[in-house]
Amino acid sequence: MDAITTRIAATGTDPDTGYTSYRLGGFEFTRDEYFAHVSWPKGSHIIEIDRFLRAMVRDIGWGFFYGWIFFDDIFGTTNHYGTVDLFAGAYDAGYKAKGLDHLETFPAEVVKEAFETISQNWINEGYDPLRAPLETGSPLGPKTVERTDELVRGFAAASRMLGLEGEPPVRSDATGHPINRAFADLEFDRPEIECEPGFEGQLHAINLFDHIARADVTWNPSFTAVTGASICCVTSEEHMLPVIHGNDRNEWFVQLTDEIHWQIADKNSGQPRGTIVMKAGNVCAMPADIRHQGFSPKRSMLMVLENGTPGLEKRYASGELKPYPVDFG
Amino acid sequence: MAYNTKVGSLDAYEKGSIELADDLRKYAFSNIYEVAGKSAPFERVAVVQNLEYVAETVRIEGDSPWYAAPHDEFALVMDGEVTFRFVKLADDQVPGHEGGAVRLGGVPNGPNMGRVTARRGHQVLLPKGAAYQMSAAKPAVAIVQTRDGPETVKRWSEICTLA
């Protein structure tokens, strides 16, 4: 299917709320005081505005991430690494059965521009969808003043290891990242590095927990260490993952502190499969045939190990690779 | 409100739970403290497998053999205090196998690069081109991000929750 290259267009501004509505391909986006409304030629859908904006800014920041990003059970994006599907009901059994589902494919930069345009117009000063709900204002109500700072931040991608020369810095007071309130009870020290003369800069270590504890964003990973295509991402998690992630490959979670409850469902139908509760020290694979959503009652630290090998999504989609990672023999 | 961050250790951890209408083998649900608690010192037990990449749980107790890999590895200490000692390898000493750590026969010839002392939450670069030894006076635990290699131990059926 050819990608639709038509860019986002404004379709009008509501005189009462002040928010602008937009069209992208066959999709229309409107917001009111409480909700985002998404419509397409065969249907429409309503999403609570906090949920919608939290999902949208993360989808931008993640570069549409790996595979499927469900804003909720109905609306979302699929990353094809160059193009992006926008879908509504395409992975919901009821919408599919009634023929109400819709899917359009766009160049990734077209969707990125569209999401940035919508987010910029629909997010007011005082509300930061990347922060935990307890740490930011409300997105509800009419348009006030648009934010002028960066909407998307926090995704520091190391190519070898965080903090090495030429790599993104480890978070610190100096970078404007104090220890988050939820980790104030921990003590943070530094690893001791003793280099012999001539080897300065060749040995390296960081306090990874300190780096995570200073994150001013949630559910927004930073790459800290890379072995070949194996990427160590770490992130601070509080409240709920504001998207449901459907994998196009296997990924792994290592719970570093506290606990996260994961709801697991079938990727294609959304049929629930159950729950995983990960506590500090637990390791769990997220297979390539599920969707998952996390709930973190207290801010916690999570390590995610991804395989960034290019083209992997096609090998899973074709069935060449099994949708689960371990062969038990 | 004061928060109480929960971390795990060899002596105290909670295992969590997995309740799914699915084949639990697909999720390979384990706990690094439980794995390390049942491992011999310096067994490098895979708890993550992403095709050719793994993460190994290592119980560190005493002095390890010397290891080297043909690529960077990373160790995240999850309990205790670990000292990593490094020796620079000449180009012809760098292992030529495809990936993962390999055990060296003894202390490698080469200049001493120094050492890193790390505790819970510290992530340490185990750089390509260097051999390393891990040491801990008391039992400690680390997760090593690496490739599947000759030292990687796999006993998934023993470490994973399957029912």
> What are the residue ranges spanned by the domains of chain B?
41-151
Tell me the helix, strand and coil percentages in chain B, rounded to 5.
Answer: 10, 45, 45
CB B154 within 8 A of CB B93: no
Average pLDDT for B127-144: 98
CB B149 within 8 A of CB B108: no
According to the model, what pLDDT value does residue A113 have?
Answer: 97
CB B45 within 8 A of CB B79: no
Q: How far is A268 from chain B (nearest CA, A)?
A: 15
- The answer to whether A295 faces chain B, any CB pair under 8 Å, is no
For A110, phi and psi rounded to 5 degrees? -70, -45
According to the model, what pLDDT value does residue B159 have?
Answer: 98
Smallest Cβ distance to A191: which of B5, B33, B118?
Answer: B118
Name the pTM for this structure. Answer: 0.96
Q: What is the rounded distance in angstroms from the CA atom of residue A227 to the CA atom of residue B147?
A: 8
pLDDT > 70: percent of chain B: 100
Tokens describing residue A328:
């038990």
A305, containing H or E segment: strand A290-307
CATH of residue A290's domain is 2.60.120.10
CB A57 within 8 A of CB A66: no
Q: How far is B64 from chain A (nearest CA, A)?
A: 19
Tokens describing residue B78:
């999850």
Which positions in chain B touch A297 (Cβ < 8 Å)?
A: none
Query: Which residue among A135, A165, A199 closes a domain?
Result: A135
| Domain-located, residue A163 | no
According to the model, what pLDDT value does residue B140 have?
Answer: 98
What is the distance between the terminal CA atoms of chain A, rounded to a whole angstrom? 40
Residue A246's closest CA among A271, A229, A221?
Answer: A271
Contact B123 A309 (CB under 8 A): no
Q: Is B157 helix (H, G, I), strand (E, B) or coil?
A: helix
Q: Which amino acid is at A157?
A: A
Confidence of residue B117 (pLDDT cuts 50, 70, 90): very high
**Quick one: A185 and A83 in the same domain?**
no
Nearest CA in chain B to A283: B30
According to the model, what pLDDT value does residue A286 have?
Answer: 97
Which positions in chain B touch A134 (Cβ < 8 Å)?
A: none
B41-151: what CATH class? mainly beta
**Quick one: A96 and A220 in the same domain?**
no
Domain enclosing residue A291, as ranges = 181-317
| Residues in CB range of A26: below 8 A, 6 or more apart | A40, A41, A102, A104
According to the model, what pLDDT value does residue A1 have?
Answer: 64
Mutate to test the interface with A, among B14, B19, B50, B147 (most CBs of A within 10 A): B50
Average pLDDT for B90-103: 92
- The answer to whether A171 faces chain B, any CB pair under 8 Å, is no
Q: How high does pLDDT run on average in chain B?
A: 97
| Domain-located, residue A4 | no
Convert the pLDDT of each residue in B44-75 to its tens digit: 999 999 999 999 999 999 999 999 999 999 99
Q: What is the rounded distance in angstroms from the CA atom of residue B84 to the CA atom of residue B123?
A: 11
- The answer to whether A287 faces chain B, any CB pair under 8 Å, is yes
Nearest CA in chain A to B146: A227
Query: Which residue among A135, A160, A193 closes a domain?
Result: A135
DSSP assigned state of B139:
E
Contact B74 A328 (CB under 8 A): no
| Residues in CB range of A212: below 8 A, 6 or more apart | A183, A234, A235, A236, A256, A301
According to the model, what pLDDT value does residue B153 have?
Answer: 98
Q: What is the rounded distance in angstroms from the CA atom of residue A271 to the CA atom of residue A275?
A: 13
Nearest CA in chain A to B112: A196
Q: How far is A72 from chain B (nearest CA, A)?
A: 21
CA A15 to chain centre: 33
Residue A171's closest CA among A141, A199, A122, A212?
Answer: A212
Mutate to test the interface with A, among B33, B59, B74, B112 (most CBs of A within 10 A): B74
| Domain-located, residue A323 | no
Q: What is the rounded distance in angstroms from the CA atom of residue B36 to the CA atom of residue B59?
A: 5
Q: A258: how many CB neighbours lie within 10 A of its CB? A: 24
Q: What is the rounded distance in angstroms from the CA atom of residue A111 to the CA atom of residue A108?
A: 5
Contact B73 A209 (CB under 8 A): no
| Domain-located, residue A34 | yes
- The answer to whether A282 faces chain B, any CB pair under 8 Å, is yes
Q: Which amino acid is at A237?
A: E
Tokens describing residue B31:
């706990």
- The answer to whether A326 faces chain B, any CB pair under 8 Å, is yes
Q: How far is B105 from chain A (nearest CA, A)?
A: 23
**Quick one: A207 and A274 in the same domain?**
yes
Contact A279 B14 (CB under 8 A): yes
**Quick one: A231 and A285 in the same domain?**
yes
How many pairs of residues across A and B have Cβ atoms under 8 Å apart? Answer: 234
| Domain-located, residue A3 | no
Q: A116: how many CB neighbours lie within 10 A of its CB? A: 16
Domain count, chain A: 2
Contact B5 A232 (CB under 8 A): no
Which positions in chain A touch B86 (Cβ < 8 Å)?
A: 199, 203
Q: What is the rounded distance in angstroms from the CA atom of residue A48 to the CA atom of residue B28?
A: 35
Residue A53's closest CA among A148, A111, A119, A133?
Answer: A119
Nearest CA in chain B to A184: B3
| Domain-located, residue A170 | no
Nearest CA in chain A to B118: A191
What ipTM was predicted for this assembly?
Answer: 0.98
Query: Which residue among A135, A170, A189 closes a domain?
Result: A135
Contact A254 B145 (CB under 8 A): no
In a structure prediction context, what are the per-residue pLDDT tens digits for chain A, which is 329 residues long? 689 999 999 999 999 999 999 999 999 999 999 999 999 999 999 999 999 999 999 999 999 999 999 999 999 999 999 999 999 999 998 999 999 999 999 999 999 999 999 999 999 999 999 999 999 999 999 999 999 888 887 777 899 999 999 999 999 999 999 999 999 999 999 999 999 999 999 999 999 999 999 999 999 988 999 999 999 999 999 999 999 999 899 999 999 999 999 999 999 888 999 999 999 999 999 999 999 999 999 999 999 999 999 999 999 999 999 999 999 97
Contact B50 A305 (CB under 8 A): yes
Nearest CA in chain A to B9: A281
CB A257 within 8 A of CB B5: yes
A286, containing H or E segment: strand A282-286
